[in-house]
Amino acid sequence: MIKKTLAQICQMAKGEKLDSQFQDILIEGVSIDTRTISPGNLYIPIIGETFNGHRFIEAAIENGAAAVLWGSNQPNPPEQLPVIYVKDTLEALQTLAKSYRDELAIKVVGITGSNGKTTTKDMVTSILSTTMKVQKTEGNFNNHIGLPLTILRLKEDTEVAVLEMGMSAFGEIEFLTLLGRPDVAVITNIGESHMLDLGSREGIAKAKLEIVEGLSNDGLLVYHGDEPLLTERVRSMDIQTITFGESEQNDFYPLRIKQENEGTYFTINKLEDKEFYAPVLGKHNVNNGMAAMAVARHLGLSWDHIEAGLKQIKITNMRLELIEGINGTKLINDAYNASPLSMKAAISLVHDLDASGKKLVVLGDMLELGDKEKDYHEEVGRFIQPDKVDYVFTFGVLGEHIANGAKQYFSPDRVFAYQDKEQLIDAVRKLLSKGDILLVKGSRGMKLEEVIVAFKK
């Protein structure tokens, strides 16, 4: 994490009015949350739509803050702490992170995409960690606040930073990539997430490709080569590229994929005689794995290290997370988020898995899809194969359109739509028995992990 004197912090954040008697105080790390402050931290009070971090200064002091940034237009600065005044605390956080990033002698891998960002981040980190000291974005710290905090948590001896970059509007990826300055940029895919704000898949592709704006002069773009919206735009760019995807036109493509209940086995064109294994569910994750492989090979890792790294992957929670359920059942928790693309991928996984009992899916609303949201939900319902899934449960107003789509192929006694979560859980409980597999997936706002909790062992 950043370790600097207050005088250095003041200069790096473009602050002012630091009392000379405090210049040599050593700051170790920053925090914007008084609940996570450690002794010696710099507290940065952020102002949001419904809160003002300046109001929690007493808690920051009690928890060990050594100094604080303070908005110049905010009243009653603390008298108990050294204070650096700044015009805007969020801008100062971002400026401080950029200054720190410029000092670090590290390689940066920036990852974006409609789906699979977090899984790819975890895969890249796991593989590179076999030979390098690596830090990655933790949790969902992938926006204009989270990315600066991630950078400021990097240790000076870190060799590679793997930074996830999320967005919901134009210009956001550009801001993040100019801050992180990646040596390798990855675009996992183009889906329908954020259609409400970006208008079309073309708009989403344009927004994701902003990541190349911060790419170093000799940097590499790794992207999904089966996506015409990317290939058409990248063709006109003077940058080094590696592609991955299902088709043979890509630099990395799979030869064989075998889905087992504990993970995925696959071979690729680059090394036909070696079978790789990842303890990750879903054939679509082979694409994410190949993206991670491309990054690793570019950074000089051997195939043996790549194989070892894939085997030890630990995926962030609620991403096709396999959990032991009650009464000998298996639960698949994919409740972190949902889009038509990721929903179909999760359903395909259920299609492929072997179960000694029944296979059930609980699917919730997919949010931020724009004018065609009902059509997208019905399309997902029609995608479910009645010979490979026994029961379909939906939750939410939009989820009901998934049920309508499924009913075109399923008998009515196998599809159920609910608006009340407790009623949904009670209905699933009546059917769930030993040997069954239950998939739970929906957008973050639906909080469908509560269904998982109800059936977790």
Q: For residue range 407-426, what is the model confidence (pLDDT) as tens digits?
A: 999 999 999 999 999 999 99
pLDDT in tens, 56-112: 998 998 899 999 999 999 998 888 789 999 999 999 999 999 999 999 999 999 999
Q: Per-residue confidence at 368, pLDDT binned at 50, 70, 90? A: confident
Task: Tell me, yes or no, whether 95 lies in a domain.
Answer: no
* Same structural domain, 200 and 222: yes
Q: Per-residue confidence at 49, pLDDT binned at 50, 70, 90? A: confident
The residue that leads in pLDDT, 451 or 168, is: 451
Q: Per-residue confidence at 48, pLDDT binned at 50, 70, 90? A: confident
* Same structural domain, 277 and 255: yes
**Are the C-beta atoms of 366 and 340 separated by less than 8 Å?**
yes
* Same structural domain, 217 and 360: no
Task: Tell me, yes or no, whether 316 lies in a domain.
Answer: no
**pTM of the predicted protein model:** 0.84
Last residue of a domain, one of 45, 63, 90: 90
* Same structural domain, 8 and 126: no
Q: Which of 6, 148, 153, 135 is nearest to 67 (CA)?
A: 6
pLDDT in tens, 166-224: 988 899 999 999 999 999 999 999 987 665 667 788 988 999 999 999 998 899 999 99
Residues in the chain: 457
Q: Angle, nearest 10°, between helix axes 89-103 and 172-180?
A: 40
Give how many domains the chain has, as a whole number.
Answer: 3
Residues 6+ apart with CB under 8 A from 373: 366, 398
* The dihedral formed by the CA atoms of 11, 16, 21 and 26, expressed in degrees to the nearest 10: -40
Residue 164 predicted with pLDDT over 80: yes
The overall average pLDDT reported for the chain is 94
Domain that holds residue 304: 104-311
The residue that leads in pLDDT, 319 or 300, is: 300
Six token digits for residue 212: 């190349």
CATH number, domain of 77, equals 3.40.1390.10
* Same structural domain, 406 and 340: yes
Q: Per-residue confidence at 457, pLDDT binned at 50, 70, 90? A: confident
CATH number, domain of 301, equals 3.40.1190.10
Residue 124 predicted with pLDDT over 90: yes
pLDDT at 197: 67
Handedness of CA 263, 313, 456, 351 (dihedral sign): negative
Task: Tell me, yes or no, whether 97 lies in a domain.
Answer: no
* Same structural domain, 135 and 191: yes
Task: Tell me, yes or no, whether 98 lies in a domain.
Answer: no
pLDDT at 340: 92
CA distance 182 to 215: 5
Last residue of a domain, one of 286, 311, 336: 311
* Same structural domain, 434 and 336: yes
pLDDT in tens, 15-27: 998 888 999 999 9
pLDDT at 195: 59
pLDDT in tens, 311-349: 999 887 777 889 999 999 999 999 988 889 899 999 999
CA distance 332 to 360: 10
pLDDT at 112: 96
**Are the C-beta atoms of 3 and 25 separated by less than 8 Å?**
no
Task: Tell me, yes or no, whether 201 lies in a domain.
Answer: yes
Question: In percent, how much of the chain has pLDDT > 70?
Answer: 98
Last residue of a domain, one of 90, 117, 150: 90
